[in-house]
Amino acid sequence: MSYIKAENVLPQELIETIQQYVDGKLIYIPCKEKQEWGTTTSAKIFFRERNERIYENYKSGMGLRELAGRFSLSEKSIQRILRDQRLALREGIESV
């Protein structure tokens, strides 16, 4: 994440007020409206499709160890994905 110089965007009076609290430090100012994870990239789609493939391979008889090796994940991660996929299917929701 890049930063913007306060002098370029904030009035001097506001900068002086902020300096009373944090002088010479980097601070993060959050967005007014928080965006849902994955809305600005294709990561959410990638992981949803990967998790669906993992679940389909598991249903076809592939074991945890083989799935972990194929998808470069730990067996514990595979178990979590399978659990989440089952829950999503049961509740009829989209999983990540």
Q: pTM (2 decimals)?
A: 0.60
Domain-by-domain residue ranges, the chain?
43-91
Crossing angle of helices 64-71 and 43-59, in 10° steps, is: 150
Task: List pLDDT tens digits, range 33-80.
Answer: 887 777 778 888 999 999 999 999 999 999 999 999 999 999 999 999
Task: With beta carbons less than 8 A apart as the criterion, state whether 74 and 63 touch.
Answer: no
- List Cβ neighbours of 13 (8 Å cut-off, separation of 6 or more): none
